[in-house]
């Protein structure tokens, strides 16, 4: 992703900055995914701390070999999608509890439909 602009374009719909845990990497990932600029723009930018620049440099200079880069990326996206669905399910379940406590049963019904849709997506993801 760091060096290959065409790969960045292919992953744009599947990977976003919020998928990165470290805020500095979120910012850099967002920049790389959303732009056609080379990684040297990040490395020469004073807005990023030296630790992030060192990590990006190390990743950009190392040759990572995979049997299939596409399959590796596909596997990573699948894991991210599962994680997003699990987080979404937890949030919906919390909202259901809150709605039940407040007695807004129309909201509970709406949230149950949302939960059902998330469970269907999760099942489809695990079946593939």
- Report pLDDT digits (tens) over 42-97: 677 777 677 777 777 776 676 666 666 667 767 777 777 888 889 899 999 999 99
Mean pLDDT lowest for which of 49-53, 108-112, 118-122? 49-53
Q: What is the pLDDT of residue 106?
A: 94
The 3-state DSSP class for residue 110 equals helix
d(C-alpha 116, C-alpha 112), whole Å: 6
Closest CA to 33 of 12, 6, 4: 12
Output b/e per residue, 90-115; b: 16+ Cβ within 10 A: eebeebbeebeeeeeeeebeebeebb
- Look up residue 17 and give its DSSP letter: G
Q: Is the overall model pTM greater than 0.85, yes or no?
A: no
Q: What is the pLDDT of residue 17?
A: 75
Q: What is the pLDDT of residue 114?
A: 96
Closest CA to 92 of 119, 57, 61: 119
Q: What is the pLDDT of residue 90?
A: 94
d(C-alpha 71, C-alpha 120), whole Å: 24
Question: Which tokens in the block code for residue 30?
Answer: 């967002």
């Amino acid at each position: 992703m760091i060096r290959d602009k065409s790969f960045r374009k292919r992953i744009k719909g599947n990977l976003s900055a919020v998928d990165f845990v470290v805020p500095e990497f979120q910012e850099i990932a967002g920049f790389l995914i959303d732009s056609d600029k080379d990684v040297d723009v990040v490395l020469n930018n004073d807005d990023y701390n030296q630790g992030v620049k060192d990590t990006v440099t190390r990743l950009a200079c190392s040759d990572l070999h995979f049997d299939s880069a596409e399959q590796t990326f596909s596997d990573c996206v699948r894991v991210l999608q599962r994680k997003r669905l699990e987080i979404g399910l937890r949030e919906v379940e919390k909202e259901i509890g809150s709605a039940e406590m407040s007695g807004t049963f129309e909201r509970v019904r709406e949230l149950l439909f949302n939960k059902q849709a998330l469970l269907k997506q999760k099942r489809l993801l695990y079946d593939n």
